[in-house]
Amino acid sequence: DTAVSQTPKYLVTQMGNDKSIKCEQNLGHDTMYWYKQDSKKFLKIMFSYNNKELIINETVPNRFSPKSPDKAHLNLHINSLELGDSAVYFCASSPRRGPTGYGYTFGSGTRLTVV
């Protein structure tokens, strides 16, 4: 019954590795997002997809590559992980492009620790 689910919940990995985070929503929403919350707790948009199409790509290193196989899934692949990538990554979805007054529904987050 989880509306927006992310896996894994925790991820500990060494520098230089490649890892993926998966996100799925069963709300029928058209738009999905990846946000990063750093140690100072600021939430920053990374990517937005509307019905599988990339809409927003903020200033994010090329090592981060989102993939949306269908509008219910938005995965995040990270190459050559660095210490500074340690953060909590949240997936979110909304009914259509833009908040439309309903805001976003967030997944429970993936806590990534790079050692």
Partner 1 sequence: RKEVEQDPGPFNVPEGATVAFNCTYSNSASQSFFWYRQDCRKEPKLLMSVYSSGNEDGRFTAQLNRASQYISLLIRDSKLSDSATYLCVVNGNAGNMLTFGGGTRLMVKP
CB of 31 to partner 1, least distance (A): 9
Identify whether the C-beta of residue 107 lies closer than 8 Å to the C-beta of residue 6.
yes
User: In the chain, what are the helix, strand and coil shares in percent, each to the nearest 5?
Assistant: 5, 55, 45
CB of 15 to partner 1, least distance (A): 24
The rounded distance, in Å, linking the Cα atoms of 75 and 68 is 6
Q: Give the largest Cα separation in the chain, rounded.
A: 41
The single residue among 8, 16, 61, 99 that binds partner 1, judged by CB under 8 A, is 99
The two tokens of residue 47 are 């990517």
CB of 63 to partner 1, least distance (A): 22
Side-chain-facing half-sphere of 34: CA atoms under 13 Å: 30
Q: With respect to partner 1, which residue has the nearer C-beta, 77 or 97?
A: 97
Q: Which of residues 9-68 bind partner 1 (CB under 8 A)?
A: 33, 35, 40-45, 48, 55-56
Pairing of strands 10-13, 110-114: parallel
Q: With respect to partner 1, which residue has the nearer C-beta, 33 or 85?
A: 33
Judged by CB under 8 A, does residue 86 bind partner 1? Answer: no
* Residue ranges binding partner 1 (CB under 8 A): 33, 35, 40-45, 48, 55-56, 90, 97-109
